[in-house]
Structure 1
Amino acid sequence: MTALVHTRVRLYDQVRTAHLERARALEPATIVYRRRRYDFDQEQARGLDLVQAGAAKSVALAMSGRWTELEVNEPLDLASLPRTAAVLAATRVGRLLGRRAPAVVTYAIGNLDVFDVRAPRLRSRLRRRAELALARYVWRRVDRVAFGTPGARDVYARRFPAAKDATLIPALPSACDCAASPRDGSRVLFVGSLSERKGLPQLLAAWPAVRTARPDATLVIVGMGPLEDDVRRAAAADPSIRLLVDPPRADIHRELRAARTLVLPSQPRPLWREQIGLPIVEALAHGCRIVTSSETGLAAWLTENGHTVLAPHAAPAEWGTALAHSLTSQQDAVADAQRILSTLPHEDGRLAADRWLFQPKGATA
């Protein structure tokens, strides 16, 4: 049996590079995960205690280990529910064997109640009922929850009983410690999965309007996904578009430092809604202006702080106008980047949430 280095455990369904980067800033913990995301950076994993484990192995680890603290995926994360519920049940069995049950915490950013979506077939409806039962079980076992957005807090308030111990800490970043570099006031950046749900078709359809209004505008698209060929064709036909497929993290940070605007036109799907949008968080940390859809849980904050939020079904012309208006001169882009950074908290919201989640019982945040 794999021996875990730490008694604090983070049970994740999947891990990505952002999790690995964040783990270095958080208190040391073992990450027990089921699978890796496409953007998993092996170099970032060095020195971290990472254990890949499916449901059976995770249960065995929980039964044999002496975990004192356990972070689990939120109850509205359907993919993780069976494994999470099984591990929590295993810790209860361990308690019967004389071991202390770990304190259980979760960080919740889900802003779509998936149980409100009617499944099309009887088998799917039966599975959804089973998932709801598992979600309720997991929720009952959670001792402390930190919500990353008001939308997530409201969704959980409608679906589940009031949490024993809960708080709202907006999932806003602090300024990145990247070295300063020239900023291009005419550059738009897209980072993320090259897919329909991330709004890539809307962006490509809107780009000719941006170029008409701002002939000097350039678009850098960073990522990988099913629409990669579409982007390659667009870039071949328009020299103002550049594609970077799965570049190193250092290159992504360089693009974020150079861009004026980050665009993420997230589109709703029956069982998916943009919770926050990691590209939005990373772009804010670099002082970028944001143009996005109202799907993100940060929509209200972005609107209040001078960014542009459109309805997801907005026409390409609307997206084009919004993007063109967001562009400016290099000098103004630098000044506005400083203003954007000044609106951010001194401590990254996710790190602040983690500190609150694992504070000693009875302590103040």
Structure 2
Amino acid sequence: MRSLQETAIRVLPELRAVQVEQGLLMSPAMHWFFDTNYDLFETSIPPGFERMSLRRAAWRLLSSDASVLEVPEPLWARFLPQNVTLVVAWRLGGLLRLRNRKARTYAIENNSPGEALFGRSIPWPLDVFVRFALGAFMRMFFERVALGTPAAADSYATLPFFRRIEHSMILGLPTPSLGADEAEADPNTAIFVGHLDARKGLPELMSAWSEVEQRLPSASLVVVGAGPLRESVEKWVTARPGSRRYLGQLPHDRILSVVGQAAVVVAPSVRARRWREQVGLPIEEGLSMGRTIVTTSETGLADWLHQHGHSIIASDALETDLSRALVDALTYPIEPSSVLDSLPTRHGRLVADSWLHRAY
């Protein structure tokens, strides 16, 4: 029997705690990662996860007899040069063995290709060239693409040749968490979980919360995470400790229980150059616990969330609409059982993984 290393390889640029958890449930594969994310805090890395350099990974792919390579999506601009190196090495290694090997990927980027790569709108001649080059690259080196959101499907559909690649849209929704139907939430509490920086909408949230406190004196906000705005958050919390709490960075295995104690999960992300919220792990965690979501139109799940009664705010309207949305959500949250009933019986990422790794 061939080892996992010889059958399938899954490349992760930045290992996250949720990827460790999901990796144990996915199709058997070796996991190669190049760096670690801040949220790996206190998470043990199990066997089957190996830290790599780009040179070592490319050399291993050239000599590997594996049949499946899953790499990050091509519209992940920061990783694109490494991605090109890896898929070229994979393709060449296959040709040396007289095998037509191509890569596979899970895609959730919902920016346009030009904005994903350059962080801004670009002149149309350059935009046409970029789309053509990306489409040709994917056609040559990719054989299967799982799309995690309708917004991602729309982005990739703009690439020439993409429709000739086998692809499927599999909505990346979570399943209900174990015990979610029994978790009791404080009806007056909202929670923010994530990196403490401006692109997560934290300044807008702190400003809006002052208005929430005036309109709903019983409300309280819990903030979880670490990042460059930590000192600002700590100072802000001390001004009104009765309605504001900062818990710092928590191990990932504690997040769900903390989320379950709140009635509302708030994730007011805004665009920042090339970055746009693709799905939002706190949104997934909130849904899995049956909680009402208040977020912006930036997430690729915005349409689904709106259709199921959650609050979606245009990112350029946060200053005027966020406080109202929070008051409404805290006053009239969606029934937790309704949120849980709207979720699938198997996590969409795992469904996508099974489709990506199935044999022809």
Q: Write the distance in 1 (CA, Å) between the matches of 2:300 and 2:356.
A: 20
Distance 1:27 1:290 in 2: 31
- Which of 302, 305, 324 aligns to 1:302? It is 305
Q: Is the Cα contact below 8 Å between 1:109 and 1:275 reproduced in 2?
A: yes
Listed as ranges, the matches of 1:189-228 within 5 Å are 189-228=191-230
Trace 1:138-177 onto structure 2 (pairs within 5 A): 138-161=138-161, 162-177=163-178
Q: Distance in 2 between matches of 1:12 and 1:217?
A: 39
Counterpart check, 1:52 vs 2:51: yes
1:319 aligns with 2:322: yes
Q: In the alignment, which residue of structure 1 is the partner of 2:231?
A: 229
Contact 2:71–2:104 (8 Å) recurs in 1: yes
Shift of 1:23: 0.5
Q: Displacement of 1:37 after TM fit?
A: 0.8
Q: Is the 8 A contact 2:12 2:34 kept in 1?
A: yes
Partner of residue 73, structure 1: 72
Matched, 1:271 2:274: yes
1:76 and 1:188, CA in 2 relative to 1: closer, same or farther beyond 3 A? Answer: same
Structure 1's unaligned 5+ residue stretches are none
**Alpha-carbon distance in structure 2 between the residues aligned to 1:154 and 1:164:** 15
Structure-2 separation of matches of 1:290 and 1:186:
14
Is 244-253 or 62-71 further displaced after alignment? 244-253
Query: In the aligned structure 1, how far is the partner of 2:152 from the partner of 2:46?
Result: 33
Q: Cα gap change, 1:42/1:104 in structure 2, threshold over 3 Å: closer, same or farther?
A: farther
- Residue 96 of structure 1 aligns with an amino acid whose one-letter code is L
Match of 1:242 in 2: 245
Change in CA separation of 1:315 and 1:111 when aligned onto 2, cut-off 3 Å: closer
Letter of the 1:218 counterpart: S
In the TM superposition, what is the alpha-carbon distance from 1:138 to its structure 2 partner? 4.0
**What is the aligned partner in structure 2 of residue 186 from structure 1?**
188
> How many residues are treated as equivalent by the alignment?
350
Gaps of 5+ in 2: none
| 188 and 139 in structure 1: CA distance in 2 versus 1, 3 angstrom threshold | farther
Distance 2:240 2:357 in 1: 50
Check whether the contact 1:78–1:131 (CA below 8 A) recurs between aligned residues: no
Amino acid at match of 2:20: L
Q: Work out the percentage of aligned pairs sharing the same amino acid.
A: 35
**Deviates further, 225-234 or 83-92:** 83-92
Aligned in 2, Cα 1:348/1:106: closer, same or farther, shift over 3 Å?
Answer: same
Q: CA deviation at 1:92?
A: 2.5
Q: Counterpart of 1:354 in 2: which secondary structure? A: helix
In 1, are the aligned partners of 2:131 and 2:160 still within 8 Å (CA)? no
Hey, what's the Cα distance between the residues in 2 that align with 1:259 and 1:346?
23
Shift, 1:84, TM fit: 1.7
| Structure 2 CA distance for aligned equivalents of residues 184 and 344 of structure 1 | 22
1:226-271 CA distance string (max 9 Å, x none) = 1111100111101111112211223211111111000011111221
Contact 1:68 1:103 in 2 (8 A): no
Output the CA distance in 2 between the equivalents of 1:78 and 1:135: 15
- Alpha-carbon displacement from aligned partner over 1:150-193 (angstroms, at most 9, x marks no partner): 11111111123214211111111111114633211111000111
Check conservation: 1:81, 1:131, Cα contact below 8 A: no
2: CA distance, partners of 1:166 / 1:130: 21
Counterpart contact for 1:91–1:101, Cα < 8 Å: no
| Amino acid in structure 2 at the alignment position of 1:100 | R
Supply the AA of the counterpart residue of 1:11.
V
Q: Deviations over 1:179-210 (max 9, x none)?
A: 63321111100011101000000100000111
**Structure 1 pair 139–216 and aligned structure 2 pair: CA distance change class (3 A):** farther
The Cα of 1:314 is off from its aligned counterpart by: 1.5
CA distance in 2, matches of 1:243, 1:348: 30
